[in-house]
Structure 1
Amino acid sequence: MQKLSAILLVVLLCATSNGVLSFTDGILPNGQFEYGPKPSQMKGTRVIDPKAIPNWELTGFIEYIKSGQKQGDMLLVVPEGAYAVRLGEDASIKTKVKVTKGLFYSITFNVARTCAQEEKLNVSVSPNSEPNDWGILPMQTMYSSNGWDTYSWGFLAESNNIEIVIHNPSVEKDPACGPLVDSVALKALFPPRRTNANMLKNGDFEEGPFVLPKTDVGGVLIPPNIEDDHSPLPGWMIESLKAVKYLDAEHFAVPKGKRAVELIAGKESAIAQVVKTTPGKVYALSFVVGDANNACEGSMIVEAFASKNTLRVPYESKGKGGFKQAVLKFRAVTTRTRIRFLSTFYQMKTDGSLCGPIIDDVRMIGVRYAKHA
């Protein structure tokens, strides 16, 4: 017993020898900004002390916003808790986090546009050896009806100690103009490998960004033009002009497992993956098409592309959940084949928010013979 206690003590000392344990999953310390400035550190709603918000360092025109606060005739809503921060012209918030060097991570946070149509945010992590490697999140399109969207962004940790920066690069006539940010979270990602049962990585979408548990925004957006090397959806590229939405079984109807992907912007919302293939060999690409039980109704079509083959899968949604299986057989013509999915039509709920079909359980295997491939 004494020997076991000594071993546990050594393990504990090793784990804490560099200070705080590495962060894995969840809301960052004061990531919901519920601990805020003292009255002496503010001028109206503006925070004038760069270290007034615990765990964060502020630069530029930052406002500390209380839920229900008005901006002219507009009511500013905070999705979770009582407070959020607003990033004005060229403003940024920065926090330090202890992570595990060499692991992949994804950042998740809520954001709302408050002024201009062209608002955007830059997300970056340092240290970073790759030049110009930051996430640009355009907010011309708001995907929810309540004014708040949840975004994610992925990165590779190059140090055990990193700095996360969320920056508003916009320059407006009103320096206070800028997006609201709330509920900043982090999750370690463990990209799945290809197996004999599935040549695709993360075909079931179980590995992905942190899903905020208590907000009513619904789902996590994975922004457009995301390559697979640092994707918050490991193995997949977002090969489109608009985002796709990552869904969890706690809030939506998911055909299999706990996660799925919703194609929310027609042909402007697509995911893709490149897989090694043998020219002349026949493969079977199977997947599930359905709806997320989120009141997204109507005639839907998911298009699947592989090599020179295309399969259009119709699905009539009543918006109450359900799914169907589909299989695309194709003959590879090159050593690398791009697998791609998109939605043919734009879909919209009655509240005006974008939605679409979901896909899940994507599998690819080699087959000996396919008569019509």
Structure 2
Amino acid sequence: MALAILFVKLLFLVALTSSQVASRPVILGEQNFDWRSPTNLSVNETSQFVLLDNKTNIIPGWSYQGTVWYVIARKSSLTGDGNGLQLGPNGMISYTFYCAVRQHYFITFRLAPSSPYCANNATAVNVSDPRFSKVFFYKESLGKETWQTHAYAFWGYSYVITLQIQSVTTISHGNIACWPIIDNLVVTGIHNAEIRENNGDFNGFSNSGFEVGPGPLVQSSQGIFLEAESNLNNLSSVQLALYPWIVLGTVKYINSNHYAVPEGRRAVELISASGNPSGIAYNATAINGIRQYILEFIMGDAGDSCVGDFTVVVQVGSMKWNFMRKSNGAGSSKKYSVKFQNWTYSTTDVVPISFVSYTETRTSDHQELCGPVIDAMYLGIYSGLRSTRLPSGLAIFVLVVTFFFLA
């Protein structure tokens, strides 16, 4: 019996340790051009854009080609009161690093226009590695700051990976060539085991609280904007920034340092514009018609003065439910749930589940899009007696204790 008690204590310590370790990103490389300025830089008091020469001006950790300027923000707020790089004609920067194969990686960066004329969809960069690429646009409607934070995801399929960020040629309405400014580039790595971590045991959703994702979020005062992949019909060819959740439209990835988050440290804000969908989806497995299931989530507002009527459309296969909530923009939230059963699915089927908003809502100053915040997703078998969810390790501990008492 003493040996059994010792074993139970060991299980409890393992469970406690695993719950504390989960969702800790490993920072592989960081470049903030404020404090890692190019070498041999010649700057005078009036210079704001300094053309770099790749023979004499070295950017620590990075290589570059084409036309690249070092941007000194001074009193302007092009990149959040910091310095950055502007990628001109054929301008491209590259970063090569060692990584673990089959590990999930993110690159987070700030994007800013060079002038107000280039603010809406006229400023863009292409982020790529040898297998994937994606174009990111600065969208004026998303926020009131003169910079935005975006994220890109990729798998560690090789021991050495080279990331590239290249300018995309665009012309503004004023016939002005718009070249993007970038700053605060951060690469993070996440172990697959951390991605699979659930909010509780027996949860059909992985990464159910969105605690694992791009980061760090501490400096992202307006959140990180995540956009839908263009090839969702072939998910094996895309990298999901909120893996294994699929982004629909554009969503804002927020944290508790700057926003009201219902549970944990991170959540997702749905920011629909002009009736276009904003949401997330999940391909669930092992759902069949023999059992009844319960789906739970928390809906609230981010405490960002987002006042209005929220509606989140939840869809499981062909079944739909509308969940509505009146927001006062003060950061309140509420848990919602629905029970369902569908005889058309077998345990081998993949069942799409989505949470989508179609209603445009703006902050009280009308300067930025906002919307419902969703968090703490749960999918499980409905037993009629809904009990409080336990962390997965603690649930194992309770089961083991029960076994020894009954033995």
Q: TM-score, normalised by structure 1?
A: 0.80
- Relative to its length, the structure with more strand (as a share) is 1
Structure 1 residue matching 2:185: 3-state secondary structure? strand
Q: Deviations over 1:57-106 (max 9, x none)?
A: 1221211111147xxxxx552215x3111112331111222322221111
Structure 1 residue matching 2:309: 3-state secondary structure? strand
2: CA distance between counterparts of 1:140 and 1:251?
21
Shift of residue 339, structure 1, vs aligned partner = 0.7
Cα separation, partners in 2 of 1:52 and 1:351, compared to 1, 3 Å: farther
Cα separation, partners in 2 of 1:39 and 1:308, compared to 1, 3 Å: closer
Q: Work out whether residues 65 and 85 of structure 1, in 8 Å CA contact, stay in contact via their aligned partners in 2.
A: yes
Q: Work out whether residues 112 and 147 of structure 2, in 8 Å CA contact, stay in contact via their aligned partners in 1.
A: yes
Q: Following superposition of structure 1 onto structure 2, how do residues 299-310 of structure 1 map, counting pairs within 5 Å?
A: 299-310=309-320
**Which amino acid counterpart does residue 80 of structure 2 have in structure 1?**
P
Residue 149 (1) aligns with residue 148 (2): yes
Cα separation, partners in 2 of 1:245 and 1:346, compared to 1, 3 Å: same
Equivalent in the alignment of 2:210: 205
Shift of residue 294, structure 1, vs aligned partner = 1.4
Match of 2:367 among 336, 352, 356: 352
Shift of residue 215, structure 1, vs aligned partner = 5.0
Q: Work out whether residues 290 and 358 of structure 1, in 8 Å CA contact, stay in contact via their aligned partners in 2.
A: yes
Q: Following superposition of structure 1 onto structure 2, how do residues 246-325 of structure 1 map, counting pairs within 5 Å?
A: 246-265=253-272, 267-276=276-285, 277-325=287-335
Q: Following superposition of structure 1 onto structure 2, how do residues 9-48 of structure 1 map, counting pairs within 5 Å?
A: 24-25=26-27, 28-30=30-32, 34-39=36-41, 45-48=50-53
**Which amino acid counterpart does residue 157 of structure 1 have in structure 2?**
G
What 5-or-longer segments of structure 2 have no aligned partner?
Answer: 1-24, 386-407
Equivalent in the alignment of 1:15: none
Shift of residue 249, structure 1, vs aligned partner = 1.3
Cα separation, partners in 2 of 1:175 and 1:33, compared to 1, 3 Å: farther
Shift of residue 282, structure 1, vs aligned partner = 2.5
**Which amino acid counterpart does residue 67 of structure 1 have in structure 2?**
A
**Which amino acid counterpart does residue 301 of structure 1 have in structure 2?**
T
1: CA distance between counterparts of 2:178 and 2:77?
13
Q: Work out whether residues 33 and 53 of structure 1, in 8 Å CA contact, stay in contact via their aligned partners in 2.
A: no
Shift of residue 162, structure 1, vs aligned partner = 1.9
Q: Which runs of 4+ in 1 moved over 4 A?
A: 29-33, 40-44, 171-176, 193-196, 226-229
Cα separation, partners in 2 of 1:301 and 1:149, compared to 1, 3 Å: same
Which segment drifts farther, 31-40 or 300-309?
31-40
Structure 2 residue matching 1:328: 3-state secondary structure? strand
2: CA distance between counterparts of 1:176 and 1:86?
12
Q: TM-score, normalised by structure 2?
A: 0.74
**Which amino acid counterpart does residue 96 of structure 1 have in structure 2?**
T
1: CA distance between counterparts of 2:373 and 2:92?
35
Equivalent in the alignment of 1:192: 196
Shift of residue 141, structure 1, vs aligned partner = 5.0
Shift of residue 52, structure 1, vs aligned partner = 2.8
Q: Work out whether residues 61 and 176 of structure 1, in 8 Å CA contact, stay in contact via their aligned partners in 2.
A: no
Residue 79 (1) aligns with residue 80 (2): yes
User: Alignment length, in residue pairs?
Assistant: 334
Residue 336 (1) aligns with residue 350 (2): yes
Equivalent in the alignment of 2:376: 361
Cα separation, partners in 2 of 1:196 and 1:106, compared to 1, 3 Å: same
Q: Deviations over 1:258-301 (max 9, x none)?
A: 11000012542121011112145422111000011111112111
Equivalent in the alignment of 1:244: 251
What 5-or-longer segments of structure 1 have no aligned partner?
Answer: 1-22, 70-74
**Which amino acid counterpart does residue 181 of structure 1 have in structure 2?**
I
Residue 183 (1) aligns with residue 174 (2): no
**Which amino acid counterpart does residue 186 of structure 1 have in structure 2?**
V
1: CA distance between counterparts of 2:127 and 2:177?
20
Cα separation, partners in 2 of 1:147 and 1:286, compared to 1, 3 Å: same
Shift of residue 48, structure 1, vs aligned partner = 2.5
